A and B are shown apart, each in its own frame.
Chain A
Amino acid sequence: MTPSPMDRRGFLKGALGAGALAAAGGALTACAPGTGGAAAPSRLGKPSASASSVKGEITVWNRSGDLFKVFDAAIAKFREAYPGVKVDHMAVDIDAKLADTLISGTDVPDGSFWDDAKIGGQAEHLYDLSDLIAPYRDRIAPYKLSVNTVAGKIYGVPWDLDPGLLWYREDILQEAGVDPAGLATYDDLLTAARTVRDKFPKTKPIHLDKSPFLGQLWLEMLANQQGTSLTDAQGRLRLDSAEYRRIFTWIQTVVKDGLATRAPYLEPADVNTLDGGQQVFVPWAIWWSFAPQQLLKATTGKWRAAPLPAWTPGGPRSGAMGGSSFVIPAKAKNPEQAWLLYEFLCFKEPGYSALYGPSSVYPGGLSTSVPSFTPALDPAKPLFQPIDALGGQDLWKVAVEAAATIPAAAPIPAWWAKSVDYLGDNLQRLMDGTMAPDDVIGESAAKIQRNLIDRS
């Protein structure tokens, strides 16, 4: 890759940026938060050296598994562009370690992969990356920018975007005479589900997940689609709203009309009802795509993806479900080099192509999410290939077109996962037909307010 003009010029942005840069020379720990009472976040400025002269060694943490290997290959590309930077790429149990390591401040990595939901709660231990991301911010998916922005400052380099899609059985819809292109609203989906059920009485066409955690994550996808989320940017609860009520009422109708298959995500009961023809519609994130590729034997090749229906005619056709970004701890030893790595992986063509394009691990490319950098999201320039398990459908095109409509949200509160005990559980009750929408809202809101918001 050729270094961008910005890299070569290497100007410093703002006094704080210069301070952080000087600190990186040795006195970095002095201004890092966590040790003292004041919580002034460190702000990371632009590195001054050019690509060929940047030197240093960085340790970056990542999850284990196939994704780790994909990153390994992409990091090799980075080393070609920045030969002076040595990268120690480590697979660690991030959920178990990173928060504690940030608090202790010792031997912190220079950068780490992290769940978007975790970033808001630990912002004080992270570098403020606002200045570095500024040149790209107009070209970052609004949702990803919003979840990484706490009190106006950006703490994560936004990585993957996980658009929700409507997965459906192409063969069954054809036999039932339903045109998937006509599924423009959630009411259309209800009508189609009834048509399918009347034609094939054994079907319970719509998947409603049985896991409280994933159920709530799914709920947030449907909320994000309407431009809202559990809390606003100030951390205030916004569950009691027309948007959430609309979702809950729709779920209630699905349940009352006997249109729901209740199964836990890709556990045997789910796999069997997917393969057995009982499930026809799965509104879910793009990462569901690996089910027909790896797990479904009888129905592989029969599934297709479409944008989600809209809540209101003409409304957004997708919402985000999950996702991760990269953080640079305030006590990183070589934060600038870590930034260069993440900038390369997220915003530079050779970087994101190496991650999403064909690789030895995924010969057709990584098709379980898409980049959040909009220049990468060209429907005509697919990073991953059409998928046989989807009958050769060009999932890339469907996904990036849907992704383009995803509205912004708000940073995810630190207690989000814990709120599953209230909202996630009550959502399950709604899906079981034992709780009404207003009670889900009222009870969950009261519990979340008392046990989580009032205590944070």
Chain B
Amino acid sequence: MNQTRPGPVQYALLVVLAAAFLYPIWWAVSSSLKPAAEIITDPLSVGSLTLDNYRAMFADVPIGTGFANTALVLAVKGAMTMFFCPLAGYAFAKYAFPGKNVLFGVVLLTLMLPTLVLIIPLLLEMSTLGWVNTYQALILPGSVDAFSIFWMRQTIAAIPDELIDAGRVDGASEFGVFARVVLPVIRPGLAALAVLTTMNIYNDFVWPVVAVNDTAHQTLQVVLSTLAQNVTGNRIGADFATVWGELLAAGSIAMLPLLVIFVLLQRHFINGILAGSVKG
């Protein structure tokens, strides 16, 4: 790649930008360690350190359950997305078949429909199936999603057809061509898909909030929304300050696993792939 070492001016600019990007996160984490009322009265200062918000949060909301359920949904739904979406993307990118345009149009339509309008009908369907308060309600709707198929289609479309035809000439089955020829080539795209899928599932709350009523099935974001209502609800009530502290504490803890995954994987995620492409 066109790799030049940036000059001092560029570095200065980058450092300022990085600081601006990190500031909001730093604010949220440091505020979660402040006495609750000070978050409102003195939002920009670094107050005296306290773990009160965390203590209160752990006592008030089932955040442990939230983590466990999110992990479960992430594992199953994520695996489904990572397997089925590249496959569908491959079909749309590299095959000519009758009805393809219409079928891909359906995929795009589901991507373009605002989730908000589908919530009530989907909830009615779940209630007919008796699936309210179940893991399948959290996992199955949206488990093979249009966004991921679209992304995989774009990624796979970039592969030269010659490569695929060569795989066929070698006598591989159609799935074999996908598994042994296509997948290795789109590793960067798959890595991106893995990260995006993790984010989407981890941060999804619009559907989980209505699909699940009992404590046992709450995901992390459902737990967060329980706290957030008192903050977004126009501050009516005596405790919005304390709830603020709890929300920031829960928010800080919620982003921790993702940040750790990022920091641990970023080297692998970017360097490893580059090294591979240098060889190729």
- Residues in A with CB closer than 8 Å to B119 are 100
- Name the residue on A nearest B243 (C-beta): A65
How many chain A residues touch B (Cβ–Cβ < 8 Å)? 42
B residues within 8 A CB of A368?
A: 237-238
Among B15-23, B63-71, B139-147, B207-215, the stretch that binds chain A is B207-215
Task: Choose from A97, A103, A107, A267 the contact partner of B133 (Cβ within 8 Å).
Answer: A107
Q: Are A295 and B237 in contact (CB under 8 A)?
A: no
Q: What would 11 more interface pairs be, CB under 8 Å, given A93-B228, A95-B233?
A: A64-B243, A65-B239, A90-B215, A91-B60, A93-B229, A96-B209, A97-B213, A100-B123, A103-B120, A106-B130, A366-B238
Complex CA–CA separation, A271 to B43 (angstroms):
12
Contact A63 B210 (CB under 8 A): no
Q: List 8 A-B contacts (CB under 8 A).
A: A64-B61, A64-B226, A65-B240, A66-B238, A93-B225, A101-B213, A107-B133, A295-B241
A211-B234 Cα distance, complex, nearest whole Å: 9
Structural contact, B226 and A104, CB atoms closer than 8 A? no
Closest A residue by C-beta to B123: A104
Q: Is the CB of A268 within 8 A of B41?
A: yes
- Which of A65, A103, A213, A289 makes the CB contact (< 8 A) with B242? A65
Given A64-B230, A322-B236, are A107 and B40 neighbors across the interface (CB < 8 Å)?
no
Distance from A267 Cβ to chain B, minimum over Cβ atoms (Å): 8
Contact with B along A108-143 (1 / 0, CB 8 A): 010000000000000000000000000000000000
Contact B238 A100 (CB under 8 A): no
Whole-angstrom CA separation of A366 from B123 in the bound complex: 37
In the complex, what distance in Å separates the CA atom of A214 from the CA atom of B61? 28
| B209 in contact with A294 (CB, 8 Å) | no
For residue B124, CB closer than 8 A to chain A, the reply is: yes
Please name all residues of chain B whose beta carbon is closer than 8 Å to the beta carbon of A95 when the two chains form the complex: 229, 233
In the assembled complex, how far is the CB of residue A255 from the closest CB belonging to chain B, in whole angstroms? 23
Known contacts A66-B238, A213-B234, A287-B237: A96-B60 contact under CB 8 Å: no
**Which A residues lie within 8 Å of B124 (CB)?**
103-104
Question: A295 — which chain B residues lie within 8 A by C-beta?
Answer: 37, 40-41, 241
Q: Select B40's contact among A64, A268, A367, beta carbons within 8 Å.
A: A268
Docked-complex contact B210 and A96, CB < 8 angstroms: yes
Taking a contact as CB atoms under 8 Å apart, the answer to whether A107 and B213 are in contact is yes
> Is A92 a contact of B226 with CB atoms below 8 Å?
yes
Complex-state Cα separation, A66 to B240, whole angstroms: 9
Which residues on A are within 8 Å of B, measured CB to CB? Answer: 63-69, 90-97, 100-101, 103-107, 109, 211, 213-214, 265-268, 271, 287, 289-290, 294-295, 297, 322, 362, 366-368
| Partner pick for A93 among B123, B209, B241, CB 8 A cutoff | B209
* Interface residues in B115-147 (C-beta closer than 8 Å to A): 119-120, 123-124, 126-127, 130, 132-133
Closest chain-A Cβ to B206's Cβ sits at a distance in Å of: 8
C-alpha spacing A92/B211, complex, angstroms: 12
Q: A101-B210, A295-B40 are in contact. Are A64 and B227 (CB under 8 A)?
A: yes
The interface of chain B, by Cβ under 8 A from chain A, is 37, 40-41, 43, 60-61, 119-120, 123-124, 126-127, 130, 132-133, 209-210, 213-215, 222, 225-230, 233-243
Chain B residue with Cβ nearest A90: B215
Q: Establish whether residues A294 and B37, one from each chain, have CB atoms under 8 Å apart when the complex forms.
A: yes
By the criterion CB–CB under 8 Å, are B229 and A96 in contact?
yes
Q: Which B residues are in CB contact (< 8 Å) with A322?
A: 236
Tell me, in angstroms, the Cα distance from A100 to B116 when the chains sit together. Answer: 12
Q: Contacts A265-B235, A271-B40 given: A65-B230 contact, CB under 8 Å?
A: yes
A residues near B213, Cβ cutoff 8 Å: 92, 97, 101, 107, 109
Alpha-carbon distance between A68 and B132 when the two chains are bound, in angstroms: 25
Given A63-B229, A64-B60, are A104 and B237 neighbors across the interface (CB < 8 Å)?
no
Bound-state Cα–Cα, A366 to B239, Å: 11
Q: A94 contacts B229, CB within 8 Å?
A: yes
Q: Is the CB of B60 within 8 A of A68?
A: yes
Closest B residue to A91 by beta carbon equals B226
B241 touches A294 (CB 8 A): yes
Q: How far is the CA of A305 from the CA of B242 in the complex (A)?
A: 24
The residue in chain B whose Cβ has the minimal distance to the Cβ of A417 is: B234
If A90-B215, A91-B61 touch, whether A290 touches B238 (CB-CB below 8 Å) is yes
B43 touches A268 (CB 8 A): yes
Q: Which of B43, B130, B228, B240 has the most CB of A within 10 A?
A: B240
Whether B239 and A66, one on each chain, are in contact in the complex, defined by CB atoms closer than 8 angstroms, is yes
Q: A106 with B132: in contact, given A93-B209, A266-B40, A287-B236 (CB under 8 Å)?
A: yes
- The CA-CA distance from A266 to B40 in the complex, in Å, is 8
CB neighbours of A289 from chain B (8 A): 238
The 8 closest A-B pairs by CB, nearest first: A106-B127, A66-B239, A290-B238, A368-B238, A106-B132, A104-B127, A104-B123, A65-B239
A107→B134 CA distance, assembly (Å): 11
| Closest residue on chain A to residue B122 by CB atoms | A104
Q: A266 CA to B132 CA in the complex, in Å?
A: 39
Q: Closest A residue to B247 by CB, please name it.
A: A64
* Nearest CB of A to B259, in Å: 25
* A residues less than 8 Å from B233 (CB atoms): 95
Measured between C-beta atoms, what is the minimum distance from A63 to chain B in Å?
6
Inter-chain contacts of A105 with B (CB < 8 A): 127
The CA-CA distance from A214 to B130 in the complex, in Å, is 40
Residues of A close to B227: CB separation below 8 A: 64
Instruction: Give the chain A neighbours of B40 by CB distance below 8 A.
Output: 266-268, 271, 295
CB–CB A66/B234 < 8 A? no
A67 touches B237 (CB 8 A): yes
A213-B234, A268-B43 in contact; A66/B242 too (CB < 8 A)? yes
Docked pose: A94 CA to B228 CA in angstroms: 11
* CB neighbours of B214 from chain A (8 A): 90, 107
Q: Within the complex, what minimum Cβ distance (angstroms) separates B214 from chain A?
A: 8
Q: How far is the CB of B134 from chain A (nearest CB, A)?
A: 10
**B235 surroundings in chain A (CB, below 8 A):** 265-266
Q: Which residues of B contact A271 (CB under 8 A)?
A: 40-41
CB distance from A194 to the nearest CB of B (A): 30
Select B237's contact among A65, A97, A101, beta carbons within 8 Å. Answer: A65
Task: Give complex CA distance A64, B61 in Å.
Answer: 8
